[in-house]
Structure 1
Amino acid sequence: MINRQMQELGSKRSTIRELFEYGNQRAAVVGRENVFDFSIGNPSIPAPDAVRQAIVEEAAGDPVALHGYTSAQGAAGVRAALAADLSRRFGTDYTGDSLYLTAGAAAALSCAFRAVLCPGDEVVIFAPYFPEYRMFIESGAGAKCVVVPPSVADFQINFDALEQCLNEKTKAVVINSPNNPSGAVYAEQTIRRLAEMLTEKERAYGHPIYLISDEPYREIVYDGTQVPFIPHYYADTVVCYSYSKSLSLPGERIGYVLVPPQAADSSDLYAAVCGAGRALGYVCAPSLFQRVAARCAGMTGDISAYQANRDLLYQGLTAMGYRCIKPAGAFYLFPQTLEPDDRAFCERAKKYDLLVVPGSDFGAPGHMRISYCVREDTIRRALPLFEKLAQEYFA
């Protein structure tokens, strides 16, 4: 008998992927330019010029070394360079021995969860959340996912609800800031309060509670917003990062797990991350893009295009009567739908070839996610269609 759980997971794509494929089908009928696909977070700005230059220069070297295996945790020189970049930017003293390179943030999260969790453990996540967290935690690591409902006024943490979710079975808490799908960035006071609460619970329960910080959008922020560096506030932090968004390299799958030396049982935890990578079959991260990441760490593409898209979309939709917070980071808008049934609303939007993702998939019913990492012209041409959709409710 095959594994029926895996069969079910493989037989049904996520709503985001289903919409993306639906968009491809519609494009064949009405033309790509007439499908307004806001479903997927695929970076739309070019990678920095330094990325292309790094690829060219690395490709001119020894092809055997270029495409060969590296150490399972990543090439030592690459890890040292990435650690030096983190230390320069955040005032730390990390070494390469704290980093495990992965095939993107998904692999980083999978390794972190497998390293930390045992059957019967619980993991707290905050709505709205990236839907695959459930897959990684429940199907991947065999733990229980506990969801804190959203604070829709600002998408900061609902601490009263969090208090009710924490118990002696809590092994980890996951945060994602800047957030997919809301674009919210946790304020420093939010992080301080979270750190204080988790520290108190660690003492009460007598075991570490790891704060797993999912940070692929760390550098994509607007209006001078500062993103707190979580290890500065809470010792038992594990950072999962990807260069997919900052360097516009989603298809190249390169990221890392950072296990800071001050985290509880850090040596054993790092070994467990390595063991999880081995169990999951991650032989090593892509060798060429390890080297590219080392040369381009800390850079971003020109995110002013994302900010212009954010402003255009936010101003346009709120003027029509849609309600949402103004994103401080990432490249998503998360408005409330104009009827309580967000799935019905998003289905109705298809009539105008507007492809948006129901908030229910992110644990926040009554909302929709709009990915604005698209051409500005796509947003300009879509706004009249959003207005026609709104008129169906406000007429």
Structure 2
Amino acid sequence: MNISQTIAAQLENASWIRRMFEEGARMKQERGADNVYDYTLGNPDVEPPPQVLQALARVVSAGLPNSHGYMPNPGFLPVRQAVARQLRRDTGLPFEPEDIFMTVGSAGACNVILKSILDPGDEVIVLMPCFSEYRFYISNHAGRLVPVETSEDFLPDIGRIAAALTPRTRAIILNTPNNPTGRVYPEQVLRDLNSLLAGCDHEILVISDEPYKHLVFDGNKQPEVASLIANTAICNSWSKSQALPGERIGYLALSPQVRNRAALRAACAFTNRILGFINAPALWQLVELEAMDSTVDVSGYERKRDLLCDSLTRAGYDVSKPEGTFYVFMKTPIPDDIAFVRILAKEGVLGVPGAGFGRSGYIRLSLTVPEQMIRKSIPGFAAALQAVSATV
């Protein structure tokens, strides 16, 4: 049976993250796990907060009515009420339970909102570099990704965004704190984007993908996108903030300032079902009802950020400390980041080339690894840099 030509083409450009992760598995078999330093996958290496595990135990043992059954398409009403209260507190906006849709992670939320707004050929602006799966989410719903480069320091460039707008532009995806760069978009940049969109002659939705919202370092906070940009849909999950990526629990929230909100509510409730997700996991909705304010301790990631960045700087690399997420986006010592990733791999160090995120000349390193692994990997980074220097 032949597969779809579209999928065949997408497989050729499939995620570098998974590709390098699989390469790591092969190398660990050959060299032994202790001799491979794998920075590829953003898979939290910490346990969920105690409040989350305690809530899970209570939900499982209590045998709550309908805790394993179907529910309204948007999710359990008490959970959506709790999310709306949290968003009212955080944003100052009058979110209602009807604005909330419990989804299968933030990825599910992104697909629900894109399915709800896109017609074939509609355009979605994505700021580069970006999470590589956005391209596939958009094409899932017959849309077209329009890449727009960020500034040299990875912040949204309002002029470039303005130049990319067309009558077919339906949405802009923002991801702050950003994967892969770790940048947190400042309040003024978000205000400037809101001013740009307010002057457009048709509605453009900002899709704010926020799974790293609570992973911000140095005592800072992520500005509330929905408070600063009127026409916003929030996609969020607890995968990163509570170290629960395998549980696939998140939500979509429509800002009370979104125009024609009633129609969009109905569309999202419908697409949340027909995409095949049916509902977000029932048990985990009930867990989050009790524990949604809990977050992992970010100090561990911050400590590993400092260890890795300081060590790489001393070794001779050009690297800036991320403001959030658990990634370091390091400049490679040669322009060909894919070639450099191969040089690193010979030293047992695995990262993801920036080309996989739309910005060549960089490599993404995940901080979801033990501190001891970071320390042991530094000689490999140094050897790779020396190998590059010897060929220049």
Interval of TM-score (by shorter of Structure 1 and Structure 2): over 0.9
CA contact (8 A) 1:44 1:373 kept: yes
For 2:157, the equivalent position in structure 1 comes to: 158
Name the structure 1 match of 2:329: 334
Structure 1 segment 1-395 matched on structure 2, within 5 A? 2-9=3-10, 13-62=14-63, 65-138=66-139, 140-152=140-152, 154-201=153-200, 205=201, 207-395=202-390
- Secondary structure class of the residue paired with 1:257: strand
Q: Identity of aligned pairs, percent?
A: 38
For 1:129 and 1:284, the matched residues in 2 are separated by 27
Cα RMSD (Å) of the superposition?
A: 1.6
Instruction: Tell me the distance in 2 between the aligned counterparts of 1:275 and 1:195.
Output: 28
Matched-pair contact (CA < 8 Å) for 1:150–1:364: no
Q: Distance in 2 between matches of 1:238 and 1:118?
A: 18
Deviation at 1:167, TM superposition (A): 1.6
Matched to 1:145, the amino acid is L
Quickly say closer, same or farther: Cα 1:64–1:232, change in 2 above 3 A. Answer: closer
- 8 A Cα contact 1:45 1:303, kept in partner: no
Deviation at 1:12, TM superposition (A): 7.0
Q: CA contact under 8 A between 2:90 and 2:224: conserved in structure 1?
A: no
- What's the offset of the Cα at 1:348? 1.3
CA separation of 1:170 and 1:244: change in aligned 2, threshold 3 A: same
SS at match of 2:277: coil
Partner secondary structure for residue 66 of structure 1: coil
Listed as ranges, the gaps of 5+ residues in structure 1 are none
Residues 332, 370 of structure 1: 8 Å contact kept: yes
Q: TM-score, normalised by structure 1?
A: 0.95
Contact persistence 1:45–1:302 (CA under 8 A):
no
Q: Which amino acid aligns with 1:35?
A: V
Q: Distance in 1 between matches of 2:304 and 2:188?
A: 29
Give the Cα separation in 1 of the matches to 2:292 and 2:144: 35
8 Å contact from structure 1 (residues 101, 255) kept in 2: yes
Partner Cα distance (1:25, 1:335) in 2: 25
Normalised by the size of structure 2, how large is the TM-score?
0.96
Q: Give the conservation status (yes or no) of the 8 Å contact 1:35–1:354.
A: yes
The number of residue pairs the alignment matches comes to 389
Could you list the runs of 5+ residues in structure 2 that have no partner in the other structure?
none
Q: Distance in 2 between matches of 1:238 and 1:45?
A: 29
Q: Deviations over 1:155-209 (max 9, x none)?
A: 11122222221122111111100000000000111111111111112xxx2x210
Cα distance in 1 between the residues matched to 2:323 and 2:94: 29
Q: CA shift at 1:118, angstroms?
A: 1.1
Distance in 1 between residues matched to 2:279 and 2:336, nearest whole Å:
44
